[in-house]
Amino acid sequence: MLVAFVPMYLIAVAYRELNAAEPDCGTTFTWSARAFGPWAGWMGGWGIIAADVIVMANLAQVAGQYTFVLVGAGALAESTLWTTVAGVVWIALMTYLCYRGIEVAARIQYALLAVELAVLVVFAVVALARVYGGDAPAGSAVPQAGWFWPGGLGLSDFVDAVLIAVFLYWGWDTAVAVNEESHDPGRTPGRAGVVSTLLLVVTYVLVAVAAVAFAGTGTDGIGLGNPDNADDVFAAMAPEVFGDGGFGATMAVLLVLAVLVSAAASTQTTIMPTARAALSMAVYRALPERFADVHPRYLSPGPATWGMGVASIVFYVGLTLVSENVLTDSISAVGLLIAFYYGITGFACAWYFRRRLHGRDLWVKGVLPLLGGVMLLGAFVLSALDYADPGSGETTLLGIGGVFVIGIGSLVLGAVLMVVYSRIAPAYFRGETLRRGAG
């Protein structure tokens, strides 16, 4: 979590600087097109759309499953059919809320985030208090300084862990994706992106340390190495952390609620930037102009928002019908796509400002974004090579790992669609719409 924070923070700085220069809801799409040309911009925009559509399947599955867990319907939570039905309902509901406009979506997000953070902080504080008070179960350990040094890992495991952590951090850029709907669009969204990464690293590291300290890494009981607990360590730890009394029962329910609202909140913050990336691409004629329509009352990109929702439902149901193992591999594949489009943004920032790199700008517009891009490029290449191994994931296709097929395959699909669309609507790809502006 600490190592992955470094490129996340550096890319957040790049977002801040690019947003200050050109606030555009297309973010990576627009900035990459300005820096490297329309083809690179289109692939950057496709990276956002592909990553968001793919991850929606996992978020919907979690939301659907925990809806039943929350109400005590364990049998339904184990049913692929009913969790899929509930997941589709969640996607439709959150798509509708995003369609109703930014004000409604923002108020819902405040409530969901407040619940999630409050429960996580209580969990971490109680767990650490019991560890330091000597009241933790066998296998617990007082946090040590050595926990914060990533030694003892092979390169492949280390890079995979960093890419997973990058996936966990992902989402802070939603604030920048709604920049044109924000107060002071040149400053507020960029600052929000940087602050979000800082809030995330504190939350993640605090909860991770608390969990490892209290449960330990053993393979029995509540140990984090126990495969029986891998899908939900909070459910396994809650009775031990909070006890069996009324407070413990309440917190166990709240932990389930925290997972549910986290999935719901993430669903919302996935739909919004994707819809706005599609809106920006349509305005510049990189996608059909229909996606540029804005609802006259709700002021939201209606066709783009509903298009995102429908695409997510189709992808989710399709993956579920094929195999739940494919759904599992799709999550790791998202990490590749995130590294791809975040990395492009870092390089785009350095190149976009290349004639203004002096003094403070040399660092915040050049060196730091470039370093973030290089780090993510390295993670992308090394992980792609590792994921190509048929034994790296849950599925294979033609002797190639399923994670590689989904991640790299989605980028190849994007390149094919880009070439096809360039024949249909060539104005953007000739740079005509970029030269005359979005208007």
Q: Does the domain made of 2-436 have the CATH classification 1.20.1740.10? A: yes
How far is the CA of 283 from the CAs of 74, 165, 208, 304, 415, in angstroms? 47, 33, 43, 12, 20
- The answer for residues whose C-beta is within 8 angstroms of residue 54's C-beta and 6 or more apart is 315, 330, 333, 334, 337, 406, 410
Stated pTM of the model = 0.88
Domain locations along the chain: 2-436
Note the helical H segments in 133-228: 155-169, 174-177, 188-215
Strand bridging mode 400-401 / 396-397: antiparallel
- Burial zone of 322 (CB within 10 Å; 0-12 exposed, 13-18 middle, 19+ buried): exposed
- The answer for residues whose C-beta is within 8 angstroms of residue 58's C-beta and 6 or more apart is 327, 330, 331, 334
Q: Looking at residue 175, what is its pLDDT?
A: 83
Intra-chain end-to-end CA distance of the chain, in Å: 41
Closest C-alpha to 54, from 370, 311, 418: 311
**CA dihedral for 232, 332, 350, 368, sign (positive or negative):** positive
pLDDT in tens, 192-244: 888 989 999 999 999 999 999 999 988 888 889 998 888 788 888 888 888 87
Q: Looking at residue 128, what is its pLDDT?
A: 95
- Burial zone of 130 (CB within 10 Å; 0-12 exposed, 13-18 middle, 19+ buried): buried
pLDDT in tens, 31-53: 999 999 999 999 999 999 999 89
CA–CA distance, 17 with 19 (Å, rounded to integer)? 5
The token duo for 278 is 């599609």
Measured in degrees and rounded to the nearest 5, phi and psi for residue 425 equal -135, 85
Q: What is the mean pLDDT of residues 412-437?
A: 87
Closest C-alpha to 40, from 48, 51, 32: 32
- CA-based radius of gyration for the chain: 22
Least confident of 84-93, 210-219, 428-437: 428-437
If you write DSSP's letter for every residue of 26-76 in order, what string do you get? Answer: TTHHHHHHHHH-HHHHHHHHHHHHHHHHHHHHHHHHHHHHHHHHHTT-HHH
Tell me how many helices (H) and strands (E) the chain has.
17, 2
Using DSSP's 3-state secondary structure scheme, residue 150 falls into coil
Q: Which residue has the tokens 């033609």?
A: 398
Q: Looking at residue 438, what is its pLDDT?
A: 46
Phi and psi based region of residue 24 (left: phi greater than 0; alpha: psi -120 to 50; beta: remaining) = beta
Name the residue with higher pLDDT: 205 or 72: 205
CA–CA distance, 341 with 32 (Å, rounded to integer)? 9
CA–CA distance, 332 with 393 (Å, rounded to integer)? 9
CA–CA distance, 379 with 336 (Å, rounded to integer)? 8
pLDDT in tens, 364-419: 999 999 999 999 999 899 888 888 888 877 788 878 888 889 899 999 999 999 99
Q: Looking at residue 14, what is its pLDDT?
A: 94
In the structure, what pLDDT confidence band is assigned to residue 181 with cuts at 50, 70 and 90? Answer: confident
Closest C-alpha to 173, from 35, 32, 312, 26: 26
Q: Which residue has the tokens 């300005």?
A: 34
String of b and e for 165-182 (b: at least 16 CB within 10 Å)? bbbebbbbbbbbbbbebb
For helices 402-424 and 368-387, give the axis angle rounded to 10 degrees: 120
CA–CA distance, 144 with 141 (Å, rounded to integer)? 8
CA–CA distance, 153 with 166 (Å, rounded to integer)? 18
Question: CB–CB of 341/47 below 8 Å?
Answer: yes
Using DSSP's 3-state secondary structure scheme, residue 25 falls into coil
In the structure, what pLDDT confidence band is assigned to residue 439 with cuts at 50, 70 and 90? Answer: very low
